[in-house]
Structure 1
Amino acid sequence: MRQLLLIAGAEWRCWQRARLALGAGLLLAALLVATTVVTTLRMQAEAAARARHQAAAEAAFLAQPDRHPHRMVHYGHYVFRTPPPLALFDPGLDPVTGQSVFLEGHRQNTAMFAAASASADLGGFSALSPALVYQLFAPLLLLLLGHGVVVREREAGTLATLLAQGMHGRLLLAGKGLALLAAVLLLLLPLAVSALLAVRAGEAPLAAAALVAAYGLYLVVWGALALLASALLRRRAAVLATLATLWIALTLVLPALAVARAAQAAPMAGTLETDLAMRADLRRLGDGHNANDPAFARLRADLLAKHGVQRAEDLPVNLRGVVAQVSEQRLTDTLNTYASARMAVETRQAAALAAHGWLTPLLAVAEASRAVAGTDLVHHHRFLQQAEALRYAFVQGLNKVHAEALSYSDDIRRSSDAQAEQRTRVAAAHWQLLGRFQFTADAAERRTAQAAPQWQMLGLWCVLLVAALGWAGGRLRP
């Protein structure tokens, strides 16, 4: 153990004397601080705007005067998603997908007000964040530190001396690896601070620890790659060229190819094609604003027979309100079918993209990071589904008021009879049926479990590289 510490200490002293390594470290630290500050300020501004708009939307909806309930169905309401605490480190898909949905009758709207246009893979780089700095630039510092740990000894002639004195190659690589591991731990300090701040903001300690561990494994992979290249190649220029090529391939080229491959593996129908097919299906459902539409003839006949009357005016409920309820249910079932199909394709695309983590650790850590932070595709889909559940509940609540509180006779004459129009207005207290929307991320245990395949990918990368280092240490020669 003493020899390992001596080797690691000597390596650290060498790095301290190298101005390039020190400068690169300071540059990375400055980049992390800058992106953290910018992300924090942006999220604070968004949180303030979100709270202001949410309050304004609720106040505007609840302040509506007495009116026909179906008018409020079309008036609509906004709901907003509050990002989880770890989104400060990894915003994930939130800047791409948006965090607000407008709820209204007869329509399912997707999330709006995204900071960047959505990419086909729902996982593209939309803005520089602390997570992206760790994914792209922290490996560069490790490559800079690690590329010369062995090849420098070989070029200086000290490697032959060390081996001649009886030091085993594996012991030498283990000492150099310990120095790089200490550098990894130092690099993780800013992330650990961010994780602690997230815990203070309400995040579960398990999720925060899982995020730090995922990036720890990721950085260990890059440190091991640098050490392996330095042990196998005999010239510093060859080591640098090899590691630069690996960085470009694993962080830029392969992820881009994986995105294209994922889109091909699960192709999605065009928006125009889908909208035309959906509108054709909706037309066959009938017009819910017209109680005499042939699509509702059976419903009308069943209601009359059930209550033993001959005219809609004699029903104990408003036929137009009942038709609105049934129409909204049929329409929502159809909309949900199309929404589920779209989400299924997006899920297959995301799974196909994530599977490429076996080929590049960047995709593995990026997927694990989004899953643990609660900013991945799964949480985006849950947001849309929960918003739709609230939309359907409040629309059907208003339709129920329409069916039970309004007279059918007044309802059909309200456009031509001022008194009937007044009688079809219901009290504004009914608008209170709108529930308050509150989205929360999955439990930390569930989010961590969702990243299990990515843990396996990063773990396999580490195991293979450690095995390769053991092999390289056994055949290390001057």
Structure 2
Amino acid sequence: MSKTILIIARDEWRYWQRSRLSLAVLIIALSLVAASVWVTKVSNTDNAHQRAHMQSQAEHSFKDQPDRHPHRMVHYGHYVFRSLPPLGALDPGIDALTGNAIFLEGHRQNSATLADKKQSSGLTWISSLTPAFVMQIIAPLLLIILGFSMVTREREAGTLDFLKVQGVSLLALLAGKGLALVTAAVLISTPLIIGVMISVINGAGLLSATAFIASYWLYLIIWSAIVLLISTLVRTNASSFSGLIAIWILTCLIIPRVASNTAGVIVHAPGKLETDLAILRQLREIGDGHNMSSRANSAMRDSLLAKYNVKSVDALPVNFKGIVAQQSEADLTKVLNKFARQQMHQQTGQAEIFRYFGWLSPMIAIQNASMKLAATDLENYHEFLQQAETARYDFVQSLNRLHAENMTLEQDSNKYRNDVAKKAATVSADNWQILSDFSFSPLSEKQRITNSLFAISQLLLMLGALLATLSFAGKRL
């Protein structure tokens, strides 16, 4: 039985070698994957160097500032950049859409900027010839061209009945032709494997890299099964090809768009203006950190006077304005973080609805598995926002502590009186070394693999259903 399967697979490869179209398809597939791996790798390496350079430049620019009032440095701000993880060279995921830099400053949380695609319509992602795009969209189309006539060719030529007379099991025939198509799919993925090996050398986890390759193999095997099944069920080459193209258009183009629109309708996300107005309403309730006489700040003043057993803020061992700045930033950050968590929850809800459409489209399933394993998905973007916010809060509060501890209230209050007073209301530039080196750390390898299990299970169950259907069709052929 196994020998018969190998003979059939070898005969199919001979047919492809004789067919100029089939040979051209294999060459085009290999060239596209290899080119996409190379171009994306070079592009991402250049982007990584640029981001590292800009991160270093932003840190040096902050540290090189002259003696200043600490609160001026709070508003001077600082930039942090998100670097792509190693496997991001193969699947950049949502990196081009979300932005990769955030300006950190006091009193506000800014959005990520410097996105490659400022605006996106439904199909702008097609313009990115990344390895992930080629494997998810182009490779199935090439497998269709390669294998649409695998069984219908035998039927139209009359050789199917001849094989039956020779005692060849129809299941063995399907297994042999399926083996040939799967080996072609694995051959197409060779440049991707080389890219993954390079990513491992550059620091990618071996387990996530292995799962990354395995998930793409699983996806290509699913498409091989789809091609073989349709070629088995229909009677002519034309019907097989048109049917497979219709399936490709439906699963790779239409269903993902329907899934995206459905997620946006089911989980409503308020617009930026609506969110900003809601934030302003809550910020008014907590008071203004620049107004020393507000109700909240008066209560804080009374508490500090009692704590240090003094009668006026001038007698406090710390600068009252700096203390107010610290407390105000802490209260404001709680409000901003609450709205940020709400927005992340809404985005995650939309993403979850989109992922459930992976039961209808293997392309959605592999897209989710690929981005999660490469650490370029929505969860890792949220992780970047949270790490950036932690860096923002730490550096702003460090400056506020300098404000409270390194100058007196009298110096602070008289800073606009004259040049001498203005100079006195500054701290040494040596204090600007408070910045810690920022480097984005994606979710752990274990967490990424756990997050990808749902999408991988979709692919496995889909493959199981296809193989069961193919076995049934082979028995009924």
Question: Equivalent residue of 1:64, what SS?
Answer: coil
> Could you say which residue in structure 2 is the equivalent of 1:412?
413
User: Does the CA-based 8 Å contact 1:96-1:122 persist in structure 2?
Assistant: no
Q: CA deviation at 1:308?
A: 2.0
User: Does the CA-based 8 Å contact 1:3-1:175 persist in structure 2?
Assistant: yes
Question: Equivalent residue of 1:291, what SS?
Answer: coil
Amino acid in structure 2 at the alignment position of 1:370: M
Q: In structure 2, what is the Cα distance between the partners aligned to 1:383 and 1:208?
A: 21
User: 1:273/1:287 Cα in 2 relative to 1: closer, same or farther (>3 Å)?
Assistant: same
User: Does the CA-based 8 Å contact 1:290-1:320 persist in structure 2?
Assistant: no
> Could you say which residue in structure 1 is the equivalent of 2:250?
249
Pick which of 437-446 and 256-265 moved more. 437-446
> Could you say which residue in structure 2 is the equivalent of 1:216?
217
Amino acid in structure 2 at the alignment position of 1:242: G
Pick which of 443-452 and 457-466 moved more. 443-452
Question: Equivalent residue of 2:79, what SS?
Answer: strand
> Could you say which residue in structure 2 is the equivalent of 1:238?
239
Q: In structure 1, what is the Cα distance between the partners aligned to 2:121 and 2:317?
A: 52
User: 1:126/1:440 Cα in 2 relative to 1: closer, same or farther (>3 Å)?
Assistant: farther
Amino acid in structure 1 at the alignment position of 2:200: V
Once superposed, what is the RMSD of the aligned Cα atoms? Answer: 1.6
Amino acid in structure 2 at the alignment position of 1:93: I
Question: Equivalent residue of 1:440, what SS?
Answer: coil
Q: In structure 2, what is the Cα distance between the partners aligned to 1:123 and 1:274?
A: 27
Amino acid in structure 1 at the alignment position of 2:105: E
> Could you say which residue in structure 1 is the equivalent of 2:374?
373
User: Does the CA-based 8 Å contact 1:93-1:123 persist in structure 2?
Assistant: no
Q: In structure 2, what is the Cα distance between the partners aligned to 1:106 and 1:122?
A: 37
Q: In structure 1, what is the Cα distance between the partners aligned to 2:47 and 2:362?
A: 32
User: Does the CA-based 8 Å contact 2:383-2:443 persist in structure 1?
Assistant: no
Q: CA deviation at 1:325?
A: 0.4
User: Does the CA-based 8 Å contact 1:207-1:372 persist in structure 2?
Assistant: yes
> Could you say which residue in structure 1 is the equivalent of 2:7?
6
Q: CA deviation at 1:288?
A: 0.9
> Could you say which residue in structure 2 is the equivalent of 1:188?
189
User: Does the CA-based 8 Å contact 2:37-2:191 persist in structure 1?
Assistant: no
Q: CA deviation at 1:205?
A: 1.3
Q: TM-score, normalised by structure 2?
A: 0.97
Pick which of 119-128 and 215-224 moved more. 119-128
> Could you say which residue in structure 2 is the equivalent of 1:431?
432
> Could you say which residue in structure 1 is the equivalent of 2:42?
41
**Are 1:53 and 2:54 counterparts?**
yes
User: Does the CA-based 8 Å contact 1:122-1:350 persist in structure 2?
Assistant: no
Q: CA deviation at 1:239?
A: 0.6
> Could you say which residue in structure 1 is the equivalent of 2:91?
90
User: Does the CA-based 8 Å contact 2:383-2:442 persist in structure 1?
Assistant: no
Amino acid in structure 1 at the alignment position of 2:324: V
**Are 1:359 and 2:357 counterparts?**
no
Question: Equivalent residue of 1:78, what SS?
Answer: strand
User: Does the CA-based 8 Å contact 1:184-1:220 persist in structure 2?
Assistant: yes
- 1:304-319 equivalences under 5 Å are 304-319=305-320
> Could you say which residue in structure 2 is the equivalent of 1:72?
73
Q: Percent identity?
A: 45
Q: In structure 2, what is the Cα distance between the partners aligned to 1:295 and 1:76?
A: 26
Question: Equivalent residue of 1:410, what SS?
Answer: helix
Q: In structure 1, what is the Cα distance between the partners aligned to 2:201 and 2:252?
A: 32
* Cα offsets for 1:376-426 (capped at 9, x unmatched): 011100001001001100100111111111101111111114333222211
Q: CA deviation at 1:118?
A: 5.8
Structure 1 gap segments, 5+ residues each: none
> Could you say which residue in structure 2 is the equivalent of 1:470?
471
**Are 1:109 and 2:92 counterparts?**
no
User: Does the CA-based 8 Å contact 2:80-2:438 persist in structure 1?
Assistant: yes
User: Does the CA-based 8 Å contact 1:122-1:377 persist in structure 2?
Assistant: no
Q: CA deviation at 1:444?
A: 2.1
- 1:274-289 equivalences under 5 Å are 274-289=275-290
Pick which of 223-232 and 273-282 moved more. 273-282
Q: TM-score, normalised by structure 1?
A: 0.97
Q: State the number of aligned residues.
A: 476
User: 1:285/1:125 Cα in 2 relative to 1: closer, same or farther (>3 Å)?
Assistant: farther
* Cα offsets for 1:55-86 (capped at 9, x unmatched): 21111100111111111111101111111111
Question: Equivalent residue of 1:292, what SS?
Answer: coil
User: Does the CA-based 8 Å contact 1:93-1:122 persist in structure 2?
Assistant: no
Q: CA deviation at 1:124?
A: 5.4
User: Does the CA-based 8 Å contact 1:97-1:118 persist in structure 2?
Assistant: no
Pick which of 385-394 and 296-305 moved more. 296-305
